[in-house]
Amino acid sequence: MGNNKQKALVNFKKAQSLISKIIKMIEGNEYCINIMQQNLAVLGLLRSAHQMLMENHLNTCFKKAMETRNEKRKQEMIKEMLTVTKLFNK
Amino acid sequence: MGNNKQKALVNFKKAQSLISKIIKMIEGNEYCINIMQQNLAVLGLLRSAHQMLMENHLNTCFKKAMETRNEKRKQEMIKEMLTVTKLFNK
Amino acid sequence: MGNNKQKALVNFKKAQSLISKIIKMIEGNEYCINIMQQNLAVLGLLRSAHQMLMENHLNTCFKKAMETRNEKRKQEMIKEMLTVTKLFNK
Amino acid sequence: MGNNKQKALVNFKKAQSLISKIIKMIEGNEYCINIMQQNLAVLGLLRSAHQMLMENHLNTCFKKAMETRNEKRKQEMIKEMLTVTKLFNK
């Protein structure tokens, strides 16, 4: 597994543990602002993970595909890339 | 528990299960774009949850505090509100 | 005019001048990445301006309305607040 | 000029005219929420423009560079791409 994929894995595991904490906070009817701040921490972890996966993708599959002469494949890769950047901004 | 807090709880539980899936996908070395798309789904769930918690907060604690004559408390509530909106945009 | 509204005005004027620059860059067929970086600068200015206006609003109109006993007005103010936070995350 | 660059230009021109309107609204001391809603419209236009420029870049300069054997150039292009996606999420 690439270095960036491994770093993303760490982020997802941290996010998982924080979400378990958040679920307990809601069930314990804790103060909304405190819950929201934990949620913002999770959002930060997942955004970084997205960026790490993007970096990994650009340096591996995407790069390889772009070096071939398969125009159809290259168009598909570009479309995919636009999908994950477009959705991310929403 | 308020209706919005309960809806937020549902979102956090869905997010938790999706993150478990994502962790397996990374460990199984699946295609980055597929992982990223799952991650975007989690981000969407957490953003909605944030909005639900915000709505709950505005209609309960925040509203109550703003109706008092405690100026210091009101200033604190406004500051808190700015923190969770500011961070969210990052 | 409040201090925050004035700071927001400065940001909008900077954004205006940067957008004029961007339009010239596109017409001069400049490198996309350079144009995108200028655009990111404008997005940063507008996001800060949004936050300044939010702060101004919370401390003036919103605060005043929340202190009254007009429940209908208060509900409208909360709805409005949710609209500008919700849209901003998109 | 590519089709996407032209569409981006239209967005920047609309954004420019909306920002002029916003500046007048602030100078006329209009209601903050109304100003914020106009600002959100501008942010939407600029985000779409960013996406259009990204699509143009991927299909032109980026694609061309990735097809060469110049490893150093390819690494630079990937780094640039990460910069404009990373910043955009902030």
Nearest CB to A32; choose among B13, B39, B57 = B57
Substitution target from B46, B70, B86, B90 for chain C, most C beta carbons within 10 A: B86
Q: Hey, is the C-beta of A74 within 8 angstroms of any chain D C-beta? A: yes
The pLDDT of residue D21 is 98
C90: pLDDT strictly greater than 60? no
Please name the residues between 46 and 65 in chain D that touch chain A, using a CB distance below 8 Å. 47, 50-51, 54-55, 58-59, 63
- Sign, CA torsion D21/C51/D33/B73: negative
Q: Which residues in chain C have their CB less than 8 angstroms from residue B82's CB? A: 51, 54-55, 58
Q: What percent of chain A has pLDDT over 70?
A: 96
Across A51-73, average pLDDT: 93
Read off φ and ψ for residue D10, nearest 5 degrees.
Answer: -60, -45
Distance from CA of B15 to the nearest CA of A (A): 8
Q: Hey, is the C-beta of D32 within 8 angstroms of any chain C C-beta? A: yes
Across C65-79, average pLDDT: 93
- pLDDT, tens digit, for every residue of A64-74? 999 999 999 99
Nearest CB to B85; choose among C63, C78, C85 = C85
Query: What confidence category does residue A90 fall into, taking pLDDT thresholds of 50, 70 and 90?
Result: very low
Nearest CB to B54; choose among C47, C55, C85 = C85
Interacting residues of B9 by C-beta distance below 8 A, sequence separation 6+: A23, A26, A27, B1
- Chains within contact range of chain C (3+ C-beta pairs < 8 Å): B, D
Count of Cβ atoms closer than 10 Å to residue D19 Cβ: 25
Q: What is the spatial distance between Cα B28 and Cα B68, in angstroms, rounded to a whole number?
A: 56
**CB A69 within 8 Å of CB D49:** no
Write out the H or E segment, with its range, that includes residue C80. helix C71-88
Region of poorest pLDDT, from B37-41, C27-31, C86-90, D65-69:
C86-90
Across A41-70, average pLDDT: 93
Q: What is the spatial distance between Cα D44 and Cα D11, in angstroms, rounded to a whole number?
A: 9
The pLDDT of residue B90 is 43
Report the complex ipTM.
0.92
Chain centroid, CA D14 distance in Å: 13
Q: Report chain C's mean pLDDT, rounded to a whole number.
A: 92
In the chain, the amino acid numbered A5 is: K
With CA atoms as reference, the chain A residue closest to D86 would be A51
Structure tokens at D30: 């209009």
Q: What is the spatial distance between Cα D26 and Cα B7, in angstroms, rounded to a whole number?
A: 37
- pLDDT, tens digit, for every residue of C19-41? 999 999 999 999 999 999 999 99
Whether C82 sits inside 8 A of B47 (CB atoms) is no
Percent helix, percent strand, percent coil in chain D, to nearest 5: 90, 0, 10
Q: Which residues in chain B have their CB less than 8 angstroms from residue C59's CB? A: 78
What SS3 class is residue D23?
A: helix
**What is the secondary structure of A25-38 as a DSSP string?**
HHHTT--HHHHHHH
Distance from CA of C5 to the nearest CA of B (A): 15
- Sign, CA torsion C5/C77/C47/B87: positive
Q: Which residues in chain C have their CB less than 8 angstroms from residue B4's CB? A: none
Q: Hey, is the C-beta of C88 within 8 angstroms of any chain D C-beta? A: yes
The pLDDT of residue C30 is 95
D73: pLDDT strictly greater than 60? yes
The pLDDT of residue D75 is 93
Q: What is the spatial distance between Cα A10 and Cα B19, in angstroms, rounded to a whole number?
A: 12
Across B17-41, average pLDDT: 96
With CA atoms as reference, the chain A residue closest to B90 would be A44
Read off φ and ψ for residue B12, nearest 5 degrees.
Answer: -65, -35
Interacting residues of D15 by C-beta distance below 8 A, sequence separation 6+: C19, C42, D42, D45, D46, D49
Longest dimension (CA), chain D: 58
Residue C52 CB burial class (10 angstroms; 0-12, 13-18, ≥19): buried
Chain centroid, CA D35 distance in Å: 21
Size of interface A-B (CB pairs under 8 A): 112
**CB B84 within 8 Å of CB B55:** no
Structure tokens at C22: 């961007």
Q: What is the spatial distance between Cα B11 and Cα A40, in angstroms, rounded to a whole number?
A: 14
Query: What confidence category does residue D90 fall into, taking pLDDT thresholds of 50, 70 and 90?
Result: very low
* Predicted model pTM: 0.91
Q: What is the spatial distance between Cα A46 and Cα B42, in angstroms, rounded to a whole number?
A: 8
Q: What is the spatial distance between Cα D4 and Cα D68, in angstroms, rounded to a whole number?
A: 24
Across D32-42, average pLDDT: 95
Interacting residues of B6 by C-beta distance below 8 A, sequence separation 6+: none
Q: What is the spatial distance between Cα A80 and Cα C74, in angstroms, rounded to a whole number?
A: 45
B88: pLDDT strictly greater than 60? no
